[in-house]
Amino acid sequence: MLTYIIRRLLLLPIILTSVTILIFAMMSLLTPYERASLYVSDIPKQSGALEGIIEKYGLDDPAPVQYWYWLVGRTDPETGEIKGGVLRGNLGWSKTGKGDVAEVIGRRLPATIELALWAGIPMIAIGVWLGVLSAIHHNRLIDQLLRVFSIVGYSIPVFVFGLLVLLIFYARLDWFPPGRLSDWAAQIVQSNNFTSYTRMYTVDALLNGRLDIFWDAFIHLVLPVITLAYLNWAYLLRVTRSSMLDILRQDYMTTARAKGLIENVVIRRHALPNALIPVVTVGALTLIGLLNGVVITETVFNYPGMGSFLSEAALSLDVVSVLGFTLFASFILVAGNLFVDVLYGAIDPRIRLE
């Protein structure tokens, strides 16, 4: 197992270097003038401002040199101070977020993690459970009902489903509001009496012993969680179901039954671990997708996470923010894939011991 993990880790630098080169290449598609203009708000009035910035930041240096500066930072010739450097966590200045890109991501991330955890865990648990249920009752009533349920979920676009639940549960019934907190709760959260440990409001509220704030944060989460969970249930259910059906047809299921095991044990011990191998990939990648922010869902529910930040940045042509976000997202994706690989090895000895 250890050598397996080490081998996976050795691949990491190669993948990450490729990712940075790719993203740098995307950035280099802009001319030095275009890039300089991102930092100057009133170009027509200040003649020579662009040239000054190009000179100052070396934007007309050869591409490999610029890549190096972008990666490790560049010493300012006047002050001797090191500036920039992706490796030092400096992703540039975000116009949209009015701060360092890294800092903006740090500010938006807790909200996204909170949503991802609330949606992700029940989503995977229930999705897998429904899939197994559907498979072991293959072609019976419950299977047919679950298939309808999943096909509907699979085919409704997020924005339709999101707007629909918003219409019913907010506009009509006024049960679950959009956003992240009510105004009164937001005031308390920002006051000095409330300690922000994680910036995830449900967790912080519990740590501060404020059940009213927990409840407020929770009812704001309900609609986006339902939307994300339903659409992903549909997918996980289908993957689990087909994988499980495939496993139930395997010869070793007969062996397990021929040993006189109870059907429950046959399913749990002999079928499930095998059936979960493909589900792990899908489940983990869905979770990673949630961690990177869900653009449409966050936008529909006005939820201030990574996804809505990305859409704001993209709409105002904030190239630096979008690329900074892309870099961050790729890191999460690479880390997530590593996690999936390790998980794979943990479940399947044929991969671990190959």
Partner 1 sequence: MSDILLSIENLETCFRTPEGTIHAVNGVSMKLEPGETLGIVGESGCGKSVTMLSILGLIPNPPGKVVAGKALYRGQDLLKMKDSEIRHVRCSEIGMVFQDPLTYFNPVLTIGRQVSEPLEVHRSLSHKEALDQTVEMLELVGIPRPKERLNDYPHQFSGGMRQRVMIAMALICSPQILIADEPTTALDVTIQAQIVELVKSLRDRLGMSIIWITHDLSLIAGLAQRMAVMYGGFVIEEAPVEDMYAAPQHPYTLGLLGSLPRLDDVQGRKLVSIEGLPPVLFKKPTSCPFAERCNFRIERCNLENPSLRLVDKCHRVACWVNPETRRENQ
Q: How far apart are CA 316 and CA 41, in angstroms?
A: 14
Pick 52 or 349: Cβ nearer partner 1: 349
Q: How far apart are CA 181 and CA 184, in angstroms?
A: 8
Pick 34 or 263: Cβ nearer partner 1: 263
Q: How far apart are CA 204 and CA 319, in angstroms?
A: 33
The percent of the chain in helix, strand and coil, each rounded to the nearest 5, is 75, 0, 25
Q: How far apart are CA 23 and CA 26, in angstroms?
A: 5
Pick 7 or 257: Cβ nearer partner 1: 257
Asked if 38 and 324 count as a contact pair (C-beta separation under 8 A), the reply is no
Pick 5 or 261: Cβ nearer partner 1: 261
C-alpha 176, offset from chain centre: 23
Closest separation between CB of residue 251 and partner 1, Å?
4
Pick 40 or 261: Cβ nearer partner 1: 261
Closest separation between CB of residue 275 and partner 1, Å?
10
Pick 76 or 263: Cβ nearer partner 1: 263
Pick 88 or 268: Cβ nearer partner 1: 268
Closest separation between CB of residue 18 and partner 1, Å?
33
Q: Which residues of this chain interact with partner 1, rule CB under 8 A?
A: 139, 250-252, 254-263, 269-270, 273-274, 347-350, 353
Q: How far apart are CA 198 and CA 185, in angstroms?
A: 16
Closest separation between CB of residue 249 and partner 1, Å?
8
Tokens encoding 262? 């109870």
250: amino acid identity, one letter: Q
DSSP code of residue 99: E
Per the DSSP assignment, residues forming a β-bridge with 78 are none
Residues in contact with 38: Cβ distance below 8 Å, sequence separation at least 6, in sequence order? 95, 318, 319, 320
Closest separation between CB of residue 99 and partner 1, Å?
48
Q: How far apart are CA 237 and CA 125, in angstroms?
A: 10
20: amino acid identity, one letter: T
Q: How far apart are CA 197 and CA 189, in angstroms?
A: 11
Closest separation between CB of residue 255 and partner 1, Å?
5
Closest separation between CB of residue 128 and partner 1, Å?
16
Pick 248 or 314: Cβ nearer partner 1: 248
Asked if 114 and 221 count as a contact pair (C-beta separation under 8 A), the reply is yes
Closest separation between CB of residue 288 and partner 1, Å?
24
Helices H / strands E in the chain, number of each: 17, 4
